[in-house]
Amino acid sequence: MFVLVNLKAYPSDPVEIATVARDVADESGVRIAVSPQAADIGRVAETGVETWAQHVSPVEHGSHTGSTLAEAVADAGAVGTLLNHSERRLRLADIDGALDAADRAGLETIVCANNPDQIGAAAALGPDGVAVEPPALIGGDVSVSQADPGIVENAVAAAAAVDDSVDVLCGAGISAGEDLAAAGDLGASGVLLASGVAKADDPRAALTDLVEPLA
């Protein structure tokens, strides 16, 4: 199982959380990555934790003011990137372009989507993984794997029907070990979470509890 912690733009200390994530990953043997703001990628990567960007733009080098260049985040230390998060939606053509950009820079990719139908469409574009995140559950206290397990099962089936090499993660409301265990039971290869760690009073305790079923 892969645990990807998205720090969004929360007022958290990215280096502190990255250090905790690195240590919990080393202690548990679970693959854990952190996705900070673009400006913090270098500092987070220096901790030794697996580091992901939150977004890259569908552009090459050139006149693209305000864009996030895939090569720039890779040079800063990122090894992967999220795309099409519910808070950073892209048109289908731009998802495809961003995937090309990520591939050019050697970045692993996870494309987010709202439902199983969108998961199937995203998987057809050839990312390394997809993540199903019903918007209504994002940032809440109830995980998608508990609230509506059928969405996760159907997302796994939708991706497999298109390309069974594409990993499926689930997100929205993930915060505890039972959520991670339930996601795995439903066929997911990992989880995408944010506030459960980024806003936790004790990020180490939150991550340790999350991966406990896998340790």
Catalytic residue among 46, 85, 108, 178, which? 85
* CA 119 to chain CA centroid, nearest Å: 14
Alpha carbons 71 and 73: distance in angstroms, whole number = 6
Q: Is 67 annotated as contributing to ligand binding?
A: no
The answer to whether 61 is a known catalytic residue is no
Alpha carbons 24 and 151: distance in angstroms, whole number = 29
Alpha carbons 78 and 34: distance in angstroms, whole number = 10
Q: Is 6 annotated as contributing to ligand binding?
A: yes
Closest to 211 measured CA to CA, from 17, 9, 24: 24
Catalytic residue among 27, 133, 178, 212, which? 133
The answer to whether 85 is a known catalytic residue is yes
Q: Is 180 annotated as contributing to ligand binding?
A: no
Q: Is 131 annotated as contributing to ligand binding?
A: no
Q: Is 138 annotated as contributing to ligand binding?
A: yes
Alpha carbons 88 and 169: distance in angstroms, whole number = 18
Residue type, 67: S
Residues in the annotated binding site: 6-8, 138, 173, 194-195
Catalytic positions: 85, 133
| Binding-site residue set for substrate | 6-8, 138, 173, 194-195
